Amino acid sequence: FELAGYLVTAYVPDVGPRIAGARIRPRFRLPESWQLPFKVSISTEVGFNKRSFEANTVTLEIRPIIEKELGKWYLSFNPDFSKSLRGIDSHRGFEFEPGMKVSYAVSKKLEPGIEYYAATGPVTHFESLHDQHHLIFPTVDINAGADWELNFGVGRGLTGTSERWVIKWIVGYRFSF
């Protein structure tokens, strides 16, 4: 079991950095003793967004996570199902937002990779490709110790409706209880 909390930040031109919201995410993993050919977990994230940054102020994500390590290679597929619980899109059903990651450990400290994220629309009827969001991120994971998670990437939108550029930066610390 894992429990994470996030602060979502945004840089506003002529204003500076701002807190755009917060997230809480419990994650449950299937036991490794089951000896599956890959790791399986499910993450359920509830987001609380400031209206000035997001029209949907409360959101839910249900994200199965399928992971595999092959030597120095790491592969992950995350078929995310998202829903607005409060806001302009709360009348809509679940949306499909897949994510994938491939990385390679060049050393014990450094793992460059590629991450892909998309928002394809309602699970019952995907939007046209022109209206979907697709982003690709060259990334790097830095192993700064057993309890630290450091990830950085610069993403580029691949469709006209995608954000043109996105900087992603994760700094995480595991607390032991």
Interval 56-66: pLDDT, tens: 999 999 999 99
What are the b/e assignments for 50-66, b being 16+ CB within 10 Å?
eeeebebbbbebebebe
Give the pLDDT of residue 40: 97
How far is residue 84's CA from residue 163's CA, in Å, rounded to a whole number? Answer: 20
CA distance 81 to 44: 10
Neighbouring C-alpha atoms within 13 Å toward the C-beta of 47: 25
CATH class of 2-173: mainly beta
Q: Could you tell me if 101 and 115 are in contact, meaning their C-beta atoms sit under 8 angstroms apart?
A: yes
Q: pTM of the full predicted structure? A: 0.87
Q: Where are the domains of the chain?
A: 2-173
